[in-house]
């Protein structure tokens, strides 16, 4: 991407973290990916409504800065475990939207060859060990991946994404404890969007901030505004540095909001229209990041327009790719249950 | 006078049963994830929270192990909880409380206590929810002495068996196939029970006994209608309870028809079909068999996301028709 290089000057010194840390090109790439996540989910939602995709899906629209901010300091071979609301994590870790669409369409060219769908989307090649249909299911797995990293001395850092609801599962508590006693290179990222399905954190969780639970496991607990890309990326950056230095885990609570219902069957009875409206119009993570980029001179209207157009094209191409891909053969239903052996 | 009979969906029938139980007995209460204002993931509790309040329709955090344990503890000490798992797959997170605690407590304490807890499990495939939200794990729990495990197949049975479960002094596990929730059928108003541990002959026939569970009962009935036009007369036994199993009804049916086929959605091996077949092989009905027993169960694979593959992993009506035809005609 071209343009806006005038911003790369000393005046950056007073800007928030990411504007000092990353190049203009990298930052524009972040905006591109945030749009890619948003448009991917809008596209998937539309395909679902038109009956092209079956099952259900959980959209992370409104949480894009969180996924992008956390993944920003990760290397390609660092790993993540994700959740049922995992499309954003998948894209942020480097997945191609065309193969994600193909998965949603149940095609063999999809990341899980049509066996997993939205709730099990993964991209092992890029270090995404998979979304998870079980709330909290990925948290101990991330600790195991971090144990591998330590034992095999690979230097990999592992991020476990999960929601506010997941912090009430036993798995969360057991996993944090083990990560702490063994000083593992893992980062626990609680994307607190205020609700686990219909149950607000006030009704489900004894502490006010989930980050407070870090104290019980002797690790830093950091709260960030999950809708501000720079804040999330800065916290992630520090946690990654700590993990790489062998100092152990961090719990980051990224406070955010999902614009859409929990899944495709949500009547939104547990929250008000005003609340949703407020988050959409006043705290949208893409709008916030875009206006910062503009204000600090990293992009102009033309640049933004170019990004939106390119994203729209990538989405359209992705859907076409998915449609044109072959379906799995019903006779292959038994494949992949066990490791194929010669 | 007979009670008024209406057409209700399976989900409505369960909801009505829970409301009746709560009206009749103030010890009865509901617990589960998102069963309050959300109405439950499948709208089974629906608006019950408006009627009974949040004290008796309790939203738990997402804590299956803890939630099930709380229900067990409340049942142990005088309450009558009905605990809803959002999906039966999440029983796996609560196995400790179900298997080690609820099932064994009365036994371990020499009969000094009982655990009258009811647990409800929305189960089965067919919704595109893939491998972790589509399983049929009833045989897992059916393996555990101390539990009672039921699978009502109609709205009528769903209501009557739930009320029987609430009245039962022991832990009762109810597996409800998600695709049945919208199925409609006649349901009388008011209180009635359908006994746990009693199978139901849903169709009488001469040529073949099909023992089916849950959603497979309706599929078997549909298959039987087709087979009838070919001159094959199928008897269908709806097992309804898998622990304790109603052996006599199955034995008597097999003695009459001399052929047995088991149809169930769960993975074929080491499941209900194996149990029913072995039970018949051990019984006096064995001598009456004219053909090998046939099991039609789920494929030996997790449930896939792709809709065509998903369908292919569980028995469908044409599969039942073909297998029944081959069995009766002696094709092997
Ligand atoms: C063990 C388990 N329990 C319940 C569910 C059903 N369920 C799926 S997502 C969800 C809410 C999760 O809330 P949270 O962790 O806050 O994540 P969010 O959906 O808000 O992203 C629930 C209850 C599940 N999938 N797994
Ligand atoms: Mg949440």
Residues B182 and B204 in one domain: no
| pLDDT tens, position by position, B235-257 | 999 999 999 999 999 999 999 99
Predicted pLDDT at B133: 98
A135/B131 CB distance under 8 A: no
Bridge pairing between strands B200-203 and B234-238: antiparallel
**Is residue A114 assigned to a domain?**
no
CB distance B121 to B88 below 8 Å: yes
Dist CA B188 CA B303 (whole Å): 36
Name the token pair of A240: 């990654």
Chain B residues in contact with A199 (beta carbon < 8 A):
33-34, 59, 61-62
* CA nearest to B261, candidates B329, B215, B320: B320
- Could you tell me the CATH number of the domain that includes residue B49? 3.40.50.970
Average pLDDT score over residue span B25-52: 98
pTM: 0.95
Which protein residue's CA is at the shortest distance from atom 17 of ligand 1? A163
- Could you tell me the CATH number of the domain that includes residue A262? 3.40.50.970
| pLDDT tens, position by position, A22-41 | 999 999 999 999 999 999 99
| pLDDT tens, position by position, A150-163 | 999 999 999 999 99
Residues B96 and B244 in one domain: no
- The alpha carbon of B32 and the centre of ligand 1 are apart by a number of angstroms equal to 13
Residues B19 and B50 in one domain: yes
**Is residue B43 assigned to a domain?**
yes
* CA nearest to B188, candidates B5, B2, B17: B5
Is any ligand 1 atom within 6 A of the Cβ of residue B93?
yes
Least CA distance to B310: which residue of chain A? A333
Chain B residues in contact with A114 (beta carbon < 8 A):
304-306, 309
Least CA distance to B308: which residue of chain A? A330
Residues B182 and B244 in one domain: no
Dist CA B303 CA B310 (whole Å): 6
Is any ligand 1 atom within 6 A of the Cβ of residue B90?
yes
* CA nearest to B123, candidates B9, B34, B214, B241: B214
Chain A residues in contact with B304 (beta carbon < 8 A):
114-115, 333
Other Cβ atoms less than 10 A from the Cβ of A317: the count is 13
Tell me which residue range forms the domain holding B44: 5-188
Dist CA A87 CA A101 (whole Å): 10
**Is residue B193 assigned to a domain?**
no
Report the gap between the CA of B178 and the closest CA in chain A (Å): 13
A169/B90 CB distance under 8 A: no
Name the residues of B annotated as catalytic: 64, 133
Domain count along chain A? 1
**pLDDT grade for B3, boundaries at 50, 70 and 90:** confident
Tell me which residue range forms the domain holding A302: 10-27+60-82+121-306
Average pLDDT score over residue span B164-187: 98
Residues B204 and B181 in one domain: no
Least CA distance to B300: which residue of chain A? A334
**pLDDT grade for B53, boundaries at 50, 70 and 90:** very high
**Is residue A154 assigned to a domain?**
yes
CB distance B298 to B315 below 8 Å: yes
Residues B38 and B74 in one domain: yes
């Amino acid at each position: 991407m071209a343009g806006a290089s005038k911003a790369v000057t000393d005046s950056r010194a007073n800007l928030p973290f990411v504007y000092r840390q990353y190049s203009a090109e990298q930052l524009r790439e972040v905006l591109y990916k945030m749009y890619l996540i948003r448009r991917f989910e809008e596209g998937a939602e539309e395909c679902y409504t038109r009956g092209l995709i079956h099952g259900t899906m959980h959209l992370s629209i409104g949480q894009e800065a969180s996924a992008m901010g956390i993944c920003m300091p990760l290397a390609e071979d660092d790993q993540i475990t994700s959740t049922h609301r995992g499309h954003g994590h998948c894209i942020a870790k480097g997945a191609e939207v065309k193969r994600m669409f193909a998965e949603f369409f149940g095609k063999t060219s999809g990341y899980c060859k049509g066996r997993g769908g939205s709730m099990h989307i993964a991209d092992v090649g890029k270090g995404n060990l998979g979304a998870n249909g079980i709330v909290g299911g990925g948290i101990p797995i991330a600790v195991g991946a971090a144990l591998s990293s330590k034992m095999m001395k690979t230097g990999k850092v592992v991020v476990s994404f999960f929601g506010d609801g997941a912090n009430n599962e036993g798995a969360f508590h057991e996993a944090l404890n083990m990560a702490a006693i063994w000083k593992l290179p893992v980062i626990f990222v609680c994307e607190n969007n205020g609700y686990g399905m219909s149950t607000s954190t006030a009704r489900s969780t004894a502490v006010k901030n989930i980050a407070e639970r870090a104290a019980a496991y002797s690790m830093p607990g950091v709260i960030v505004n999950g809708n501000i890309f720079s804040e999330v990326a800065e916290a992630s950056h520090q946690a990654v540095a700590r993990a790489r230095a062998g100092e152990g885990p961090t719990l980051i609570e990224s406070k955010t909001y999902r614009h859409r219902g929990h899944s495709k069957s949500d009547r939104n009875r547990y929250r008000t229209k005003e609340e949703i409206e407020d988050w959409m119009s006043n705290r949208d993570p893409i709008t916030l990041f875009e206006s910062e980029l503009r204000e600090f001179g990293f992009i102009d209207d033309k640049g933004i327009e170019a990004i939106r157009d390119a994203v729209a094209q990538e989405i359209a191409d992705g859907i076409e790719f998915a449609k044109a891909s072959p379906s799995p053969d019903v006779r292959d239903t038994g494949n992949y249950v066990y490791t194929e052996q010669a | 006078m007979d009670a008024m009979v209406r057409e209700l969906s399976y989900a409505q029938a369960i909801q009505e049963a829970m409301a009746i139980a709560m009206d009749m007995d103030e010890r009865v209460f509901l617990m589960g994830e998102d069963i309050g204002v959300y109405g439950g993931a499948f709208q089974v509790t629906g608006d019950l929270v408006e009627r009974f309040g949040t004290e008796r329709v309790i939203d738990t955090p997402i804590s299956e192990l803890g939630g099930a344990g709380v229900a067990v503890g409340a049942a142990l000490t005088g309450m009558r909880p009905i605990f809803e798992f959002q999906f039966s797959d999440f029983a796996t997170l609560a196995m400790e409380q179900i298997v080690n605690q609820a099932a064994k407590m009365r036994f371990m304490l020499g009969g000094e206590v009982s655990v009258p807890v009811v647990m409800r499990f929305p189960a089965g495939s067919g919704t595109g929810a893939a491998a972790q939200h589509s399983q049929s794990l009833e045989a897992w729990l059916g393996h555990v002495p101390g539990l009672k495990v039921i699978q009502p197949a109609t709205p009528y049975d769903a209501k009557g068996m739930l009320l029987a479960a609430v009245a039962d002094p022991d832990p009762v596990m109810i597996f409800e196939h998600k695709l049945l929730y919208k199925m409609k059928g006649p349901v009388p108003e008011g209180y009635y029970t359908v006994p746990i541990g009693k199978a139901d002959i849903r169709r009488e026939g001469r040529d073949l006994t099909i023992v089916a569970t849950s959603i497979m009962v309706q599929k078997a009935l549909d298959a039987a209608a087709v087979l009838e036009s070919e001159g094959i007369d199928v008897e269908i036994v709806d097992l309804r309870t898998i622990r304790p199993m109603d052996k006599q009804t199955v034995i008597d049916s097999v003695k009459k028809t001399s052929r047995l086929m088991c149809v169930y959605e769960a993975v074929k091996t080491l499941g209900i079909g194996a149990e029913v077949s072995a039970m018949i092989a051990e019984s006096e009905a064995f001598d009456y068999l004219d053909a090998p027993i046939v099991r039609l169960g789920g494929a030996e694979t997790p449930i896939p996301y792709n809709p065509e593959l998903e369908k292919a992993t569980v028995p469908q009506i044409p599969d039942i028709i073909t297998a029944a035809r081959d069995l009766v005609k002696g094709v092997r």
